[in-house]
Amino acid sequence: MNESRFLRVLAGESVDRPPFWFMRQAGRYLPEYQEIRKDFDNFLSFCYTPDAAAEVTLQPLRRFGMDAAILFCDILVIPDALGQEVRFVKGDGPQLEPVTEKTLESLDPGKVRKHLAPVAETIRQVRRSLPPGAALIGFAGAPWTVAAYMLEGRTSRQFSKAKHTVWQQPEMFAGLMAKIERATIDYLLMQIEAGAQAIQLFDSWCAVLPEQTFRQWVMAPARRIVAALRAKHPYVPVIGFPLRAGALAVDYARETGVQAVGIDALAPLDWVRREIQPLACVQGNLDPELLASSAAGTLAAAERLLDVLGEGPLVVNLGHGILPHTPLAHVEALAARLREVRR
Ligand code: CP3
């Protein structure tokens, strides 16, 4: 029997209390993260320095006792490994030289394992120091979200330029998606071989797409990635996170083969219990800005979450990543409550 309640709940077993972790739990709200971050001008160099990345992966667990650690890295290491220039500009987010028909040619999915070997080393180091009972989550961006950054060149509210490419240059878009998908599968297999015990696929920008495009470029690639991973590693669970997918989260849960689905803070809990929890474990969905605003408000929302979903398969998390201005005391209050829940 696995001693990790996080892995047990993802395997469909019942556990003494719902496990919890928080998206972006390794990050700027932690002073000990800032302390290490300041040694690096270049964010990607930080991601590629195993000692530093392993240390910040473990930091939140020491303070808050989460049931899982998430690998410290970023989804944009895939464009970097493919050969696209990626820079992180302070206060301005990531900047990439947008992919064109011409530059697409030169992107090479064959270099992933070599280029991202330091990430595998981070995973091996974290596994050696993981607290008993805690599990390590590996991750990647889902192909659409990675393609959106590669085509847009920066973060955006609507990703219009990336969307136009879907319909105006369908062959070029399909070619790009095929390269990203291949690179992502190879990268995630490498993470599992190095010791990642579960995988999360972040599709942060899936909600800018219309239904049919969502089915073709969000659900179908997720299904192929899950199948490729599970063919080689049938016991490694995959958490799909189609952020703000609304009603399409039901078909996503049913058709992609994921073991869990991440739910955002707007998803109605009674609907989630009826429509999604019978199909897959549910992960979510406290509001990150609520956590930053009010410990009491967050605790009340957590009680409701536990009341509605706590009897079924549930991983307590936020609906999206923890925000840099979140007070440590609020995180501690929530973690303390979640550690003491008993069924
Ligand atoms: O969850 C964790 O603690 C593990 C590490 C992690 C990071 N990014 C570290 C990071 C994970 C899982 C991610 C995922 C990620 N990265 C996503 C998907 C999740 C989401 O939030 O929607 C996306 C879209 C990105 C791309 C990205 N990386 C952006 C847009 C930015 C800039 C905006 C921001 O939040 O700063 C980053 C930078 C980044 N990735 C930081 C961290 C800790 C901040 C960089 C810094 O410390 O200067």
The answer, yes or no, to whether residue 1 has pLDDT greater than 70, is no
The tens digit of pLDDT for each residue in 18-29 reads: 999 999 999 999
Is 187 considered catalytic here? no
The tens digit of pLDDT for each residue in 247-287 reads: 999 999 999 999 999 999 999 999 999 999 999 999 999 99
Instruction: Please name the residues in contact with 59: beta carbons below 8 A apart, sequence gap of 6 or more.
Output: 26, 30, 32, 33
The tens digit of pLDDT for each residue in 293-326 reads: 999 999 999 999 999 999 999 999 999 999 999 9
Block residue for tokens 């920066």: 154
Taking CA atoms only, the protein residue closest to ligand 1 atom 25 is 75
What is the 108 CA–ligand 1 centroid distance (Å)?
24
- Ligand 1 atom at minimum distance from 22 CA: 1
**What is the identity of the amino acid at 112?**
V
Helix (H) or strand (E) holding 88: strand 86-89
Of 5, 17, 24, 244, the catalytic one is 24
Is 74 considered catalytic here? yes
Structure tokens at 179: 């390269």
The answer, yes or no, to whether residue 98 has pLDDT greater than 90, is yes
% of the chain beyond a pLDDT of 70:
100
Over the chain, what is the mean pLDDT?
97
Taking CA atoms only, the protein residue closest to ligand 1 atom 32 is 93
Taking CA atoms only, the protein residue closest to ligand 1 atom 35 is 93
What is the 127 CA–ligand 1 centroid distance (Å)?
22
Of 74, 80, 186, 203, the catalytic one is 74
- What does the alpha-carbon distance between residue 28 and residue 202 come to, in Å, rounded to a whole number? 19
CA atoms within 13 A on the CB side of 99: 29
Pairing of the two strands 198-203 and 238-242? parallel
- Identify whether the C-beta of residue 109 lies closer than 8 Å to the C-beta of residue 179: yes
Helix (H) or strand (E) holding 269: helix 269-271
Query: What's the average model confidence in pLDDT over 88-99?
Result: 93
- Identify whether the C-beta of residue 331 lies closer than 8 Å to the C-beta of residue 292: no
**What is the identity of the amino acid at 142?**
A
Helices vs strands, H then E, count in the chain: 18, 9
The pLDDT of residue 343 is: 80
What is the 24 CA–ligand 1 centroid distance (Å)?
7
- In this structure, the number of other CB atoms found within 10 A of the CB of residue 38 comes to 8
**Which residue from 23, 24, 122, 239 has its CB within 8 A of the most atoms of ligand 1, so it is best to mutate?**
24
Closest of 100, 102, 96, 99 to residue 153, by C-alpha: 96
- What does the alpha-carbon distance between residue 330 and residue 120 come to, in Å, rounded to a whole number? 33
Which of the four pLDDT bands, split at 50, 70 and 90, describes residue 164?
A: very high
The answer, yes or no, to whether residue 92 has pLDDT greater than 70, is yes
- Identify whether the C-beta of residue 214 lies closer than 8 Å to the C-beta of residue 205: no
